[in-house]
Amino acid sequence: VYFPRPATKGTLRSLAGERFSSLIVVAPRYSPESLVDNLAGLLCPSAAFAVFSPWLQPLVECRCALHKRKLAVGMKVTETFWREHQVLPGRTHPHMAMTTGPTGGYILSGVMTSQVLQHKPSGRSHTEED
């Protein structure tokens, strides 16, 4: 049976010194654009990334910034809402009494380009309150 060891400060420092092959960000209280801007330098070229936000607009702004700086390709924004459908012979319709729950939102995904090797964070603020 395998039990993961707790990460020590030394382990975390050594990991931060390497480039990562993927990034998943779920931090709805922070601006996706500023988080990706500051974390992009830790990624290697061709690294896959996914950023979750309960709101669409911050992800669209993040996508535009990544596109403008040529940091990512193959970007798409998808909605996480899933609706059950009732399928009967000769008819199909969605169940209308569904709730989205706390998991509704959007995901921006894509692949980083070689531009991440030269990327310097812009220094913008991280929280929505700033």
> What is the pTM (predicted TM-score) of this model?
0.74
Measured between alpha carbons, how far is 23 from 64 in angstroms, rounded to an integer?
18
Dihedral (CA of 102, 62, 12, 5) sign: positive
Closest CA to 106 of 28, 43, 38, 40: 28
Q: Are 44 and 21 in contact (CB under 8 A)?
A: yes
The per-residue pLDDT for 120 is 86
The per-residue pLDDT for 1 is 57
User: Would the pLDDT of 128 be above 50?
Assistant: no
Cross-strand bridge partners of residue 22:
48
Better pLDDT: 68 or 3: 68
Q: What are phi and psi of 37, to 5 degrees?
A: -60, -40
User: Would the pLDDT of 109 be above 80?
Assistant: yes
Q: What is the pLDDT of residues 81-100, one digit of tens each?
A: 777 778 889 888 887 766 65
Measured between alpha carbons, how far is 23 from 40 in angstroms, rounded to an integer?
9
The per-residue pLDDT for 74 is 97
The sheet carrying 106-112 orders its strands as 20-26, 43-53, 106-112, 72-79
User: Would the pLDDT of 130 be above 60?
Assistant: no
Average pLDDT, the chain: 85
